[in-house]
Structures are given as C-alpha cells and as structure tokens.
Amino acid sequence: MVKNHTPVLSGGFFMRCGCRSGSRFFCDYLENGRCCRISSKGHQINEEIRDKEVRLVSATGEQLGIMSAREALQRAMEADLDLVKISPTAVPPVCKLMDYGKYKFEQTKREKEAKKNQRVVEIKEIRMSPSIDVNDFNVKLRNAQKFLGEGNRVKVTVRFRGREMAHTDIGRNLLVKFAEDCGEVATLDKEPKLDGRHMSIFLSPKTAKEGKK
C-alpha cells in the first residue's frame, strides 16, 4: 500500500509495440491490444474509487476483466498493492494494481531527469554595418557558425547610419551572403526585414536529417 519505499523499478513491462513501429518501450497496460501509458494527471486510489464497475489490470499489465470497484479493491489488498485509476475517461474506467508510492517516486525521478537533460535554446545576435570589411565579416561569420553548432539560433543585424539608409540594398545583400555562407549548418527562417534603421535575419541550426541532405 502507499508508504515509503526504496527506489527500485516496478510498474509495467517491456514489450514490442505495434503503434510505435516495433520499438521497445515501457508499457503500463494493454487496452484492445494497444500499449498504453498511465495518465500524468492526479489519480484516484483505493477507497477514492467509487465507480460501479472498473476494468482491472494486473501489476504486470495483464487484463483481469471487468468487476466492481469493491472487488478490485479487495484484490489490491490481497496483493498488498494499491488500486489506481489510470484511465478515468474509459468506459468502464481502467484501474491498475500497483505500488503507488513507488510509482510516484519513479515518476518524480523521471521528471527530474527530463528537466536536467533539457537544453535552453538561446538567440545570439551578430551586428554589422553595411561597410564592414572582409576580415570583420569573416570573424562574425565564424562566431555565428559556432553559435549555430552549439544549437542556438542567431539573429544577424545590419544597422544603417545617416545616409546609409539610402542604400539598404547593400545591407540586404550582406545579410543574404551571410546566410548563404552559413548554409551548411543553418537554415534561413525569414528573408531580410527592415525595421527602422535595422535590417535583420534569423538563422536556425539544421537538424541532423537536414544536415545529411
């Protein structure tokens, strides 16, 4: 029943799943021959479950049939497990026998791991003038390629001063060349756009599949 537990694996079982192109993954229970996962929302457990009938699933994912909630709870008690409603919208609702305390521990652990592996994509900005020389252009180009290689988006901006506003085509051509020179590692999100005295483009890193094309 629900109590403190040591961190060991439990719950579902491994199987080949047709709906996942035959990939091997962790399945909580089977419904009509399909692999299903437990809803991530809050669960009703044990005496909180008051449905007239429920479809019961064993701790290993085996279908135990449709029965009253009282009978399902009795089976849970006999197995020293919890009765957990895992699919409340099904008709009848699906309940599973499990060690709920252990399940919650593992769920929290998975969420922490997912957050730890998440990477925040930043937008790095490269600024140029329409009269930038070749060496400075190449330095900024290498910086942009480095940012893109690290998985970040890059905003490239040309700023026009004074009479340079009469020659915005120079800035546009500069940005187009910059995007082309980053073509192996980046895709151009939008064409150069003028906003006041600034013209910008956004570059996004190519995915692995795009890079192979």
DSSP codes, 25-77: EEE-EEETTEEE---SS---BGGG---SEEEEE-TTS-EEEEEEHHHHHHHHH
| Angle between helix 134-149 and 168-181 (nearest 10) | 50
Mean pLDDT score of the chain, rounded to an integer? 79
Can you name the residues that pair with 201 across neighbouring β-strands?
A: 156
Its CATH class, for the domain covering 13-113, is: alpha beta
In this prediction, residues 119-147 reach a mean pLDDT of 89
Quote the pLDDT of residue 103. 85
Residue 32's pLDDT is what? 53
**Residue 30 · residue 63 · CB < 8 Å:** yes
Determine the topology of domain 123-212 in CATH.
Answer: Translation Initiation Factor IF3 (3.30.110)
pLDDT interval class at 21 (50, 70, 90): very low
Q: How many helices (H) and strands (E) does the chain have?
A: 5, 13
Q: 44 falls in which pLDDT band (50, 70, 90)?
A: confident
Residue spans of the domains in the chain: they are: 13-113, 123-212
